[in-house]
Amino acid sequence: MVINIEGLDFAYGAGKQTVPVLKNINLTFPEGQITAIIGQTGSGKSTLVQQLNALLKPTAGEVHIGDHTVTNKTKEKALTPIRAEVGMVFQFPESQLFAPTVIEDVMYGPKNFGATDEEAKQAAEKALAKVGFDTSLYDQSPFNLSGGQMRRVALAGVLAMNPQTMVFDEPAAGLDPQGQAELLDLLRTLRDEGKTIVLISHQMEQVLALANQVVVMKDGQVAAHEPVEELFARPQSWFADQHLDLPETIAFQKEMEKQGFVFDHLAKTVDDLAKQLAGQLDSAKLTGQRSDQAGSQAQTGGPHHE
């Protein structure tokens, strides 16, 4: 399923109180790919993705979601089937939790779209396992959980529904490092299964590792929309203008280039960066330095005592 936005404007509120946010957006989200949306705080990312499952309707312009078209005039009733096709994990997970227990919360989606209790339970358990949620907490209230545990329940809620398109608004925020790494694998797997994924993230490393293409938002407009390799090949000054950072691996490459190192491609991972660096290091010197450094560490290191 392809999502296509044409000439979209969006303003919050009505009458005199309107706050215009999105201006003249034209975008396509291709099927089976990961599209990342990045941009400064307040640039309109969360507002934009809420158009993708019609939680917000455009003030002007059209959103084509598979066979559905959403405009300002579209009736609420016509929006319901869209919710089954486009799942959304919100920026603050609490805002989407509501059931008395974790398991019921995750079962709600499948049941709402016609699954039997048994099917819904199976889907929920499978989804909770995928996000590494502790089985002993299934019968807890979703509100009596830690921040990262709530995030996992919210993620599972969408996975259990298994929609064709999934939108994730800062899904890694609040996850511990292991949870973040597992989330990357999960999103990759979903893409490989043919899902259309939209990912908002402030973590450029994640975007570099996952995205096929990137949309850069600035003041409610699209400042760039291109394949990920193209985007991160832009000069550092461009990123500074957008108030964005380069991913750590690429920033480190740029730093080393100033020292005379050369790289034949942008490093997507730390391992890739290490490989490209290793060939340019004097291995004899490296070993020498190593034992040297180890010696001096013995005097300054050691655990800290109060």
Partner 1 sequence: MTNAITIKNLNYSYPEQGELFKNFDFSVQEGEWLAIVGHNGSGKSTLAKLILGLLDFDQGEIQVFDEKLSEETLASIRAQVGMVFQNPDNQFVGATVADDVAFGLENRQVPSKEMPAKIEAALKQVGMEDYAEREPHTLSGGQKQRVALASILALHPRVIILDEATAMLDPEGKQAVMETLKELKARYQDQLTLIMITHDMEEAALADRVAVVSDGQLVFDEKPETLFLKGKQLAELGLAQPFSMELQSALGISQTTYRTKQELATWLSTLKA
Ligand X SMILES: Nc1ncnc2c1ncn2[C@@H]1O[C@H](COP(=O)(O)OP(=O)(O)OP(=O)(O)O)[C@@H](O)[C@H]1O
Active-site residues: which are they? 170
**In the complex, which residue's CB is closest to ligand X?**
148
Q: State how beta strands 60-65 and 68-70 pair.
A: antiparallel
Interface characters, 172-211, with ligand X (x: CB under 6 A): ----x-----------------------------------
- What distance lies between CA 276 and its chain's CA centroid? 28
Interface characters, 70-109, with Mg ion (x: CB under 5 A): ---------------------x------------------
Residues 139-168 that bind Mg ion (CB under 5 A): 146-147
Helix (H, G, I), strand (E, B) or coil at 292: helix
- Asked if 42 interacts with ligand X (CB under 6 A), we say yes
List the one residue from 5, 34, 43, 115 that touches ligand X (CB under 6 A).
43
φ, ψ of residue 87 in degrees (nearest 5): -95, 150
* DSSP state for residue 198 in the 8-state scheme: E
Query: How far is the first Cα of the chain from the last one, in angstroms, to the nearest whole number?
Result: 59
List the one residue from 39, 110, 142, 163 that touches ligand X (CB under 6 A).
39
- Residues 143-158, buried b or exposed e (16+ Cβ, 10 A)? eebeebbbbbbbbbbb
Q: Is 16 exposed, middle or buried (0-12, 13-18, 19+ CB in 10 A)?
A: exposed
Binding site for partner 1 (CB under 8 A): 12, 19, 39-42, 46, 91-92, 94-95, 134, 137, 140-141, 144-149, 151-152, 169-170, 173-181, 202, 204, 243-245, 248, 252, 255-256, 259-261, 270-271, 273-274, 277-278, 280-283, 285-286, 289-290, 293-294, 296-297, 301-304, 306
